[in-house]
């Protein structure tokens, strides 16, 4: 039996929490909400501070602007954050990925996509729901860095693998070499003003630049 995945939900609507708990109860792997609340403190205090995944609403109680600062704090602390929001505009989605969110979901997509997105986040794998795919496809950036064939190969293989060790095994190189290639790719994106500090952000850049298709992930 798979290990239980734990989740903290940051949302100020009790009905949303009930709905999420119900969806997780029918998941193909065991998923349990360990904490829920209307502010980001829920994710910093026990038992929410130890959850594998944080489901995060950008519009927190008492705030009118998106809670990008709180999202950045959680990501910087190493948390795996799924943004789950009523906002559905392209810029918000891309900003969340740039800040390091694992993926971006609109609440209209929840029933079909929150569970698989949570399973992917817990396993350190990318997940691209329809709204995010649309935002990435609509974002036609011309400042594409020049990657080598090997850098592209390592990058795409990493998107489809659970670990760098597995990438190394498949490509016949060392895990350290995999890390070197990925660091080079991140540096090249940073140098053209399109930083990609997380795996999710690199997925977004790769889709924008035509290196990989959404259906391949």
The CA distance from 122 to 37, in Å, is 21
CATH number of the domain residue 90 falls in: 3.40.50.2300
pLDDT digits 0-9 by tens, 36-68: 999 999 999 999 999 999 999 998 877 888 999
Range with lowest mean pLDDT among 24-28, 40-44, 137-141, 160-164: 137-141
Q: What is the pTM of this model?
A: 0.71
pLDDT digits 0-9 by tens, 147-175: 888 888 999 899 888 889 999 999 999 99
pLDDT digits 0-9 by tens, 70-110: 998 998 888 999 999 998 888 888 888 878 788 899 999 98
Q: Are 184 and 203 found together in one domain?
A: yes
Q: Are 164 and 132 found together in one domain?
A: no
Q: How many domains are contained in the chain?
A: 2
Which residues span the domain enclosing 77? 5-138
The CA distance from 197 to 201, in Å, is 7
Q: Are 80 and 34 in contact (CB under 8 A)?
A: no
* Helices 130-138 + 199-208 axis angle, to 10: 50
Across the chain, what does the average pLDDT equal?
87
Q: Are 97 and 200 found together in one domain?
A: no
CATH number of the domain residue 178 falls in: 1.10.10
Which phi and psi angles does 105 have, rounded to 5°?
Answer: -125, 135
Mean pLDDT throughout 28-39?
Answer: 95
Q: Is residue 143 domain-resident? A: no
Mean pLDDT throughout 189-204?
Answer: 81
Nearest to 152 by CA among 174, 171, 124: 171
Percentage of residues in the chain having pLDDT higher than 70: 94
Query: Among residues 114, 138, 162, which one ends one of the domains?
Result: 138
Q: Are 118 and 184 found together in one domain?
A: no
The CA distance from 25 to 37, in Å, is 19
Q: Are 122 and 156 found together in one domain?
A: no
Q: Are 87 and 129 found together in one domain?
A: yes
Query: Among residues 109, 138, 167, which one ends one of the domains?
Result: 138
Q: Are 153 and 110 found together in one domain?
A: no
Q: Are 206 and 212 in contact (CB under 8 A)?
A: yes
What's the pLDDT at 141?
54
Q: Are 84 and 23 found together in one domain?
A: yes
Q: Are 30 and 129 found together in one domain?
A: yes
Q: Is residue 39 domain-resident? A: yes
Q: Is residue 173 domain-resident? A: yes
Q: Are 19 and 96 found together in one domain?
A: yes
Q: Are 105 and 189 found together in one domain?
A: no
Judged against a pLDDT cut of 50, whether residue 1 lies above it is answered with no
What's the pLDDT at 64?
82
What's the pLDDT at 197?
78
Joined together, the tokens standing for residue 126 give 């990318």
Q: What confidence tier does 213 reach under pLDDT thresholds 50, 70, 90?
A: confident
Pairing of strands 31-37, 5-10: parallel
Nearest to 128 by CA among 159, 87, 156: 159
Q: Is residue 64 domain-resident? A: yes
């Amino acid at each position: 039996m798979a290990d239980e995945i734990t989740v903290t939900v940051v949302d100020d609507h009790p009905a949303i929490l009930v709905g999420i708990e119900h969806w997780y109860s029918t998941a193909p792997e065991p998923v349990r909400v360990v904490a829920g609340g209307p502010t980001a403190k829920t994710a910093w205090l026990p038992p929410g501070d130890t959850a594998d995944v944080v489901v995060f609403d950008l519009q927190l109680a008492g705030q009118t602007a998106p809670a990008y600062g709180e999202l950045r704090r959680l990501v910087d602390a190493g948390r795996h954050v799924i943004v789950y929001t009523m906002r559905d505009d392209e810029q918000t989605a891309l900003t969340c990925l740039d800040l390091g969110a694992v993926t971006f979901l609109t609440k209209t997509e929840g029933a079909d996509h929150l569970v698989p997105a949570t399973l992917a986040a817990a396993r350190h794998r990318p997940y691209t729901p329809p709204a995010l795919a649309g935002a990435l496809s609509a974002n036609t950036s011309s400042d594409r860095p020049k990657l080598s064939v090997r850098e592209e190969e390592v990058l795409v293989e990493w998107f489809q693998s659970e670990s760098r060790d597995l990438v190394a095994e498949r490509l016949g190189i060392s895990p350290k070499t995999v890390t070197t290639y990925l660091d080079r790719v991140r540096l090249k994106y940073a140098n053209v003003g399109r930083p990609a500090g997380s795996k999710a952000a690199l997925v977004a850049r790769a889709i924008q630049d035509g290196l990989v298709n959404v259906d391949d992930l």
